[in-house]
Each structure stands twice: as structure tokens, then as C-alpha cells.
A and B are shown apart, each in its own frame.
Chain A
Amino acid sequence: MPTYEYRGLVLHLPELDQEHWGYFEAARRHQLVVKRCLDCNLLRWEPGPSCPFCASLRWEWAPVSGKGEIYSYQIVYHSVHPGFRDWVPYPIVLVELDEQRGIPTPGYGLRIAANLVDAQFRPEREERVAIGARVQVVFMDLPNGLTLPQFALSGEPPRGRVWRHAG
């Protein structure tokens, strides 16, 4: 049973946990994957064992572009876990991927939470975090062999409204 340590957190990835094993295996190859239903063909996040749209149990891993925009965000000032104290204030972003936006229902999206990081995988500066900003997935290879998908600003022009808190 592979076990990884990251910032004092103990991460267990049992081989029976196909939902997350496959996801992190793809991340190690620097590929972002979600699950695709083999019956209705819809993508889903989180990668659960059943399709939330048609309840099919048949699925495959589907690579996605890793491009999208920030749908919501938070800047953590008080770190609950001691392992993140050297990171505060750090952003956590909810990224809406470009794939399958508004399908199968208006407003549905593949939304993934991660940190927004700079080119050195440090927390992105607060004043650069905004809803609507374009991002792309980047892969943070940890020395222990685990790879964490993260997001970084892509520099693309925003497609819609950009909003950040005035404070």
C-alpha cells in the first residue's frame, strides 16, 4: 500500500482505491485525467465509481486539456494544519475546466480544487488571483515520487468577467 508524506500529511493510496490510484498514476505521467462514462459518454469530477448522470458502472480514464478558468477562490491566512504554516497566505482555487461546461445541465462544470502556484510552485501572489482568470494545469513532482496536479495562471486573456475581492 503506497503511502506518501507531504507537508506532514500522510497520504494513503491503496491499490484497491481505483478512483484515486488511476488519477495519481496519470499525474505522474503529467497527464490530467477525469472519468468518462462508457454508456452516456459524459465526463465527471470527482472520479467516483458510478456515473452521476446515468448510474452506469462502466468507465474509463479520459485525458483533458487541463485548461480552464478560476470559478471561485479563497486565500488561506490561518493554516489549520501546521504543515502549511510556511505557505500562508496561500490561494486555493476552484478551476472550471474547458471541457463539458454547461453539459448536461446549465451551469454544470468539471470543477477541480488545487493551489494556484507560480513557476517555482510557490503560492501565487494574492493580487493575481481572480475569478475568471485563465489557468492551466501544472504538475508538482514531489521528491517522494508523488505528483500533485496544481494550477498556474496561463496568461491567456479572460473570456468573461474578472472579479477579485477589493480588500
Chain B
Amino acid sequence: MPHPLRDRYCIVGVGETEYSQHSGRSTRAMAVEAVKKAMDDAGLTPKDVDGLLSYHMGDSTPSTAVASDLGIRPNFFMDVSGGGSSTEALIGLAMGAIEVGMCHTVAIYRSMNGYSQVRIGGTGVRAAAPLSGSALLTRPYGLISPLQQFAFAFTRHMMEYGTTNEQLAMVKVVHSRHASANPKAFKKNPVSVEDVLNSRWIVKPVAHLLDCCLETDNATCIIVTSAERARTLRQRPIYIMAVQGRGTRPFPDNPWAEAPITRIGGTYIAPRIFELAGVGPEDVDITGCYDAFTFTVVLQFEAYGFCKVGEGGHYVSSGIIALGGKRPNNTSGGHLCEGYTHGMNMVIENVRQLRGQADDYCPGWREGRHTYHYGPGGCRQVKDPEIAMNMGWGTPGYGSALILRR
């Protein structure tokens, strides 16, 4: 018997600001723009939205400010702490809030000046903060940035499975080609494996500069409502088959304790989300995998069963994840090339893909007319995708996942 909430809720509106490294604006101004654009996309007015959810790392604008600015009066709002894996989890939280009757239509946003103000990479104000608690056991050793926190698992993956830097580089190569067909991508230049390998080491042996995502300024928004209401709105409804998050592996704050350390939070989420959705990895047409680093993609494809454990390097370099391949990943360019907004842009991209509305260089993209010629600077619309999956990475310790259909 299908899960009672399967296909009961839809994503009806998406919107974002420009991806830049110099927004020159407050997170409040950007959040308001993103929410307004998502409402416009759905054909909703502020009076039609009565739920607001946001996630942040002490670097954003609260829902009450956004509500005040736009004339939204929420029956339910919440600003939760967190970055990666939050998008998917909050889509589930929105469904729950609607299901229990607290509200009926929820706008979820993330607004961050992730380059010009508070940088996730660990520099600036984050680096200057005093250390106490468990940070005393890592930061005095120069173990500070997210990449450094994840690197032990990545190195161990290379040792256990022979994953190579060339394979990792292919993730960036593929995503950069996708971004070249995305007018709003911050980095649109296609790169080669050699470009990645010739970029400087950040943390050896797991990441060169081009294996690392961008830091950008931007705001993004997704609107969720019931399937009944969705069918009366402007866009083709995109149905939420299942959502799961956040879930953890054992010892989520200390994921190095238990072997194999290459096993991530997604391993524990995968069986649940596929059971809820009633589909398997083989049924998924496009993926949006959290590409904070090229290695996070490899580990997540293994965790969710798109390939066998240890074969992620082969999976990402085989052509499967490229446009024109069997199951394209991050067709917008993702965090590596489009911009960094803690996972929300990859969900927005999958919604547009399922609608047939990828905003590429095809002259008729607004009306859904695409050439399906996937050269640089051309089309990036996948032909008639039915099912899309997003995988949200928190750390190796936890994550979230989402399966959508048209």
C-alpha cells in the first residue's frame, strides 16, 4: 500500500536572485526578492502564503522580517539552524505543518551573502570566533574548513577503493558543461580534467581548487502546498513522492569513530526514502546531488544505491551523470558552478526540469521548446524526465533526500 502522503503535496513555485560574489545587498533584500519571484512563478499573492520556513547558520534574515516586508501573515513560521541537507528536510516539515492544519501554503527560503559576508569555508568571522567544547579537539590542529572535516573519509575512500583524482575531476567537468548552458550560472566556462588536476591543491590527496564548490551571494525560495491547491495554480504541479531527513549515521558528530568511515548519513536514509516513494534508484531520471566537493557526489551516489559501494568514481566518470547520459546530475551546474545556496538550487533545477522549463539558451525555453542538443552554451533540458531525486549532504554524519515526479 502506498504511503498515505505520497503525491499529496507539490512544489508549485521556485525563485532565486542572481548568483554573484558581490550582491551589494542585505540578506533581507535578497530573501524578499526570492520569495516574491517564487510567488510570482506560482501565481500566488502574499495573501495566499501563510507559512514561512528558512534555514541559516547565523547569517540570514528571519521569517518575521520577510513576512513584514512582503505583507505575508504566517500562521506558521520557523527559522532553523543548519546548512546542507536543510532544503529537503524543510520541504518535509512544510508538508507536516500543512498536514496538521497549521497552515496551507509554505514558502521556504535560504538567503546568504556566502562570499561577501559570512563565508562557509571557515575564513573571516568564523575563523575569529573563540574555540571551546569539541572544537578544541580539532581546530587547534588546523582542522577547520568543511573540506578538512570531510577529508579523512575521502582519503580513506581512495585507499580502500582506488578512487582517483581523475575520476573526481570528471564531476567538475560534467557540471561545468551543464553550467555552460545555464545563463544564470556564476561559472559558465567548461573545464577539462587537466584544468582540475592543474589547479592548486587545497587538501591533498582529496581536493584541488576546482574540486571545491563556489562561495556565492544569493537567495533561493521554494513554495509547497497541497496537491488539490497546486492543481489550481499557474505551473504544472511537481509532486513530492517522498522526503526523508535529516537522518544520521551512528555517531553523527564523530563519524570517524565507526568504520567504514566512508559510509555516510545517506546510507541510512536510502532504504527509507525509496520505500516511501515506492521507486528505486533505477527509476530516477535525473539527480541533484550535493556537490560541496566532487567527492561528496561520489559518496552519495554509493550511499543511495545508484552504484555499488566503491564504484562511485567509475559512476561519475562513465558518462551516466552528463546531459545525454542515462541519469544526468546537477544539470544547472550545481554548487561547483552555478552557485552555492546550501542545496536549494539543485531542487529548484529539478523542479524546472520536470516542468520542461530549464532556462537554457534554447530560444523557446519559456514555452518548453528545447533542441536537446547538449553542446556548450546550448540546451540543458532533459527530454521528458518523470522522476527526479535530490540528495542533501550535511556532513558525512547526516543528510536528507527528496524524490519528485511530474
Contact = CB atoms under 8 A, between A and B. Distances in A.
B137 A113 contact: yes
Interface residues of A, number: 53
B259 A106 contact: yes
A84 B152 contact: no
B280 interface: no
A24 B134 CA distance: 12
Interface string A33-54: 0000000000001100000100
A105 B258 contact: yes
A12 B133 CA distance: 8
A163 B163 CA distance: 13
A49 B158 CA distance: 34
Interface residues of B, number: 45
Nearest to B152: A72
Interface stretch (B1-9, B66-74, B86-94, B195-203): B195-203
A72 B156 contact: yes
A94 B256 contact: yes
Chain A CB within 10 A, most for which of B139, B152, B165, B209: B152
A11 interface: yes
A109 interface: yes
A43 to B, nearest CB: 11
B181 to A, nearest CB: 30
Contact of A9 (B131, B151, B251, B261): B131
A123 B200 CA distance: 20
Interface stretch (B119-127, B303-311, B354-362, B381-389): B119-127
A17 B204 contact: no
Given A10-B130, A80-B121, A167-B165, A131 B136 contact: no
Contact of A72 (B153, B201, B209, B254): B153
Contacts of B145: 80
B260 interface: yes
A11 B131 contact: yes
A147 to B, nearest CB: 11
Nearest to A12: B132
B259 A109 contact: yes
Contacts of B254: 45-46
Nearest to B212: A78
A113 B136 CA distance: 11
B143 interface: yes
Contacts of A20: 132-134, 136-137
Given A90-B142, A92-B143, A167-B205, A113 B152 contact: yes
Interface in B201-250: 201-206, 209
B257 interface: yes
B44 interface: no
B136 A46 contact: no
A75 B201 CA distance: 9
Given A106-B259, A131-B159, A81 B201 contact: no
Given A92-B148, A167-B165, A6 B140 contact: yes
B396 to A, nearest CB: 12
A2 to B, nearest CB: 11
Interface string A2-24: 01001101111110010110011
19 contacts: A6-B140, A12-B130, A13-B132, A52-B251, A71-B156, A72-B159, A74-B152, A76-B142, A76-B148, A76-B203, A80-B123, A80-B148, A81-B123, A107-B260, A109-B259, A113-B141, A115-B141, A131-B155, A165-B155
Interface of A: 3, 6-7, 9-14, 17, 19-20, 23-24, 45-46, 52, 71-82, 84, 87, 89-90, 92, 94, 105-115, 126, 131, 148, 150, 163, 165, 167
